[in-house]
Amino acid sequence: MIFSQKIQVILCFAILATTPSLWAQNAELFYTPSTTTSQLLVSHELMGEKKYIGFPTSIQLDQERMLIAFKRGTSHGGDQEADADAIIFNPRTNQVMEHFNLGNLPRKIFQLTVPMKTHDGRIKLYTDLQNRGQDGKNYRDGIRFSEFNPKTNKTSNWEKLPIIDGIEYGYPFDFIVEGKTVYMLAMSFGYRPGETWSVAVLRSDDGTATWKFVKDITQALGGGPINESSFVRKGDDFYIVCRGYSGQTTRIAHFDQNFNLINVADLTGQAAPLNNYIGWPRIFLKGDHLYVLGRIWPKLPQQTVTNAVKDCRLGLVRINAKSLEIEKITLLDNAQGHLPIVDGYYAAFYWQDIEGRSWFNAITYRSFGSAKAPDIIRLSFLWDEVK
């Protein structure tokens, strides 16, 4: 089912001139950028009956085309059916070029779709496919994957990822591509084949044609429950940021090239400057530093620490790769916590070079106040300010 209504492109650029914030407590950690550019990419008001749009992910197709995938359904979770939709965005002109459907299956929910590019330039899509049980709750149905054709904006048939060493994986998190070798970080569920609750590293040595099990990260970290995770390679080693559940810590773990644990540290919790967890954390390496982008709850002076969604922010966390200590927390959106947030802040990112200056872009979803559903937005920041 292709969404045929012509999408309006609504550009709303806003330059916010606010003094960089330094608070009395942990003043060296928290920062609010002085220059922010915002753009509305997709409005929920134009989405017909399936107005809930969220969880954007992205992949660069070429210098003038970026694929941005997102969910289009009726709620954050619990819908009876939801599509995977996408837009083509030009990062040079900041224009939305096209809007189309990536996936739709009767009574299935395309919750979060992650694109990746293979060594030979193919665009593969892996999705967190769900269905609604008789108890009204959502359940994973096993990862489905497809191939996207950038010339036609069409996808191949959605196929189910085969069971790997007796375990079915239901939620794809992240990919690292090193030639024909591809690492996937994915989650399995105790009610699916294999009856295992885990976040695991999977590996393909033939460009995603086949997969094998590498490491159970949940077990390596002591067996406590972890959810959405992301990883990055630095030299020979790997760094994985692992989200806990509500009220549980999010941790960063340093592994060697064989995924043997070297060190682990809390990024949230009682002794950390962040409360609750980091939602959909995206870790990346820039220079010698590690960064994590995601939904955060900062412990700000003279503000009540709460786990409520209304108080969350979009944050960029800089981490020392040797000590795993937090060095800086940039509050990218809702810095003062005045909106309040209804839902939001799973984000993708990319860089732009404009007149010799580097801009860090976050593509995220957000609803606040009386909004009935989120929009997909782009926020842009001077990298020299937020890094």
Element (H, E) at 383: helix 383-386
Between the alpha carbon of residue 362 and those of residues 282, 294, 368, the distances in Å are 11, 10, 18
Give the mean pLDDT of the chain: 92
pLDDT tens-place string over residues 92-145: 999 999 999 999 999 999 999 999 999 999 999 999 999 998 898 899 999 999
Instruction: Compute the CA torsion angle 240, 243, 247, 249 (nearest 10 deg).
Output: 0
State the DSSP string of 47-85: STT--EEEEEEEEEEETTEEEEEEEEESSSS--S-BEEE
**Is the CB of residue 278 less than 8 Å from the CB of residue 243?**
yes
Whether the pLDDT of residue 17 is over 50: the answer is no
Mean pLDDT for 240-247 is 90
pLDDT tens-place string over residues 184-217: 999 999 999 999 999 999 999 999 999 999 999 9
Q: Tell me the pTM.
A: 0.93
Instruction: Compute the CA torsion angle 68, 74, 78, 80 (nearest 10 deg).
Output: -100
Query: CA-to-CA distance for 239 and 127, rounded, in angstroms?
Result: 23
Report DSSP state, residue 167: B
Q: Is the peptide bond before 273 cis (omega within 30 degrees of 0)?
A: no
- Number of residues in the chain: 387
Query: CA-to-CA distance for 355 and 359, rounded, in angstroms?
Result: 10
